[in-house]
Amino acid sequence: MAKVKFYKTPDIPLEMHKVRIVQKLFLPKVEDRVKYMNEAGNNTFLLQNRDVYMDMLTDSGVNAMSDRQQAAMMIADDSYAGSETFNRLTSKLTEIFGTKYFLPTHQGRAAENILAEAFVNPGYVIPMNFHFTTTKAHITRLGGTVEEVIVAEGLKPTSDSPFKGNFDIPRLRALIEEVGVERIPFIRIEAGTNLVGGQPLSLENMLEVAAICKEYGILSVLDASLLQDNLYFIKVREAACKDMTIREITRKIADNMDIIYFSARKLGFARGGGICTHTEELCLKMKEFIPLYEGFLTYGGMSVREMEAITVGLEETMDEDIISQGPMFIEYMVNELVKYGVPVVTPAGGLGCHLNASEFVPHIPHTQYPAGALGAALYIAGGVRGMERGSISEQREPDGTERYAELELLRLAVPRRVYTLSQIEYAIDRVKWLYDNRNLVGGLKFVEEPAVLRFFFGRLAPTSDWQQKLADKFRADFGDSL
């Protein structure tokens, strides 16, 4: 990995790429930001992109493609069946993961649906280091339950533990003994825990979990959607892996997993996904669901142009200089906010910088969704769109009671190769201003609440006129600035 030190300037992240295509951005004035936020039901998912200056909602499907990816899209084979594009993608997955069989899906949650349909029955229990929203929804929809066995450090916002996404191995063993092997079809390993700050697992921990799976005869399933960040962290944080290449680390992980699935919107920087496995038996168990839910077996709902881009993107994922840019920008953002005293999840993980809403706005109770309120406030403060990763992202219990999240986080994702460091500095500045005026931020309440995945399209309203007061303070402090 390239290491560049500065002579007269403090060391800052240095991109190992140049920008060749640009897109114009717009920053609405603060009065309009209040209006747009309320028109969107105080749900950042419902904002129109034309009204957003920095879109830090997600890094899924919004990363910048490389020139090689764009070029590859021109050679796509449009055949409905027997496509050479499919063959090239399958060959690349075999090269990287060592898997023999590949089932294409249109994105990661489609792969989760296939896995759930194939393996989950009522009463089944799926252990995992931590759940993801759609993963849990697919499992519970079919009568299964999710059990999280992440290490205690994983739920501590502030820590110096390098691998807060690790499984608690003694707890995992105890859970298997308690539940019984016959009720556990697979153990899901999420490489880079999305909902608790993008925190990684160590290679050692993944291999321990895989060994337990083999010992008990349980399938090991790797969610590799966030694998590229996790590979970077293994390389730089795990002493035993410092001399291994990214390709070697990847293969070591993959060789010990029964099934690997991924969202290519993250892993591969294009729109698609899929499921890989080493054995024909497991492939056949899932194969019949692909034409039923996704499309034919050689495209699975994906555009062949995207499949060509994924093939190149997977190869680029093996390049340390490419996969380091996101984590370095995120670390820079985290460190700058820590210096100012802003409560963020530490150490810096993948995906983005995560503001700890419980400490940022401690006066807002769980019942008024502090992470969602902070997301609305940051948009008003700077036109920056983040994503609530707190109680709104949970779903209610079967009896209708609210399930409050272990962590109330506002994720500021850093799409790869999209924003410049000056734009990151702008986001940092607006977070600092908001932190200094945090007492002005109030809560939210639901006015339209879907039963499932409410964070996507639920609508909320402020509990008071706090948003207007926040806008008035912005205008007082910044004058006629946008």
**CB-CB contact of 452 with 137 (8 Å):** yes
Query: Within 10 Å of residue 142's Cβ, how many Cβ atoms?
Result: 14
Q: Is 223 a catalytic residue?
A: yes
| Residue among 101, 102, 299, 455 flagged as catalytic | 455
**CB-CB contact of 254 with 99 (8 Å):** yes
| Residue among 88, 389, 411, 417 flagged as catalytic | 389
Burial 86-95 (b: 16+ CB within 10 A, else e): bebbbebbee
| Residue among 44, 99, 133, 311 flagged as catalytic | 133
| Residue among 26, 80, 404, 478 flagged as catalytic | 80
Q: How many CA atoms lie within 13 A of 291 on its CB side?
A: 8
444: helix, coil or strand?
Answer: strand
Q: Which of 402, 371, 403 is nearest to 387 (CA)?
A: 371
DSSP 99: -
| Residue among 235, 266, 417, 438 flagged as catalytic | 266
Q: Is 145 a catalytic residue?
A: no
Q: In terms of residues, how long is the chain?
A: 482
**CB-CB contact of 447 with 433 (8 Å):** no
**CB-CB contact of 195 with 393 (8 Å):** yes
Quickly tell me which residue has 């004058």 as its tokens: 479
**CB-CB contact of 144 with 186 (8 Å):** no
| Residue among 132, 167, 419, 426 flagged as catalytic | 132
Nearest-5° angle of CA 459, CA 461, CA 466? Answer: 145
Give the whole-angstrom CA distance, residue 476 versus residue 391. Answer: 33
Beta strands in 319-468 (DSSP E): 352-356, 384-385, 387-389, 409-413, 444-448, 459-462
Q: Is 167 a catalytic residue?
A: no
Q: Is 133 a catalytic residue?
A: yes
| Residue among 223, 235, 261, 360 flagged as catalytic | 223
Q: Is 90 a catalytic residue?
A: no
Catalytic machinery residues: 80, 132-133, 223, 266, 389, 455
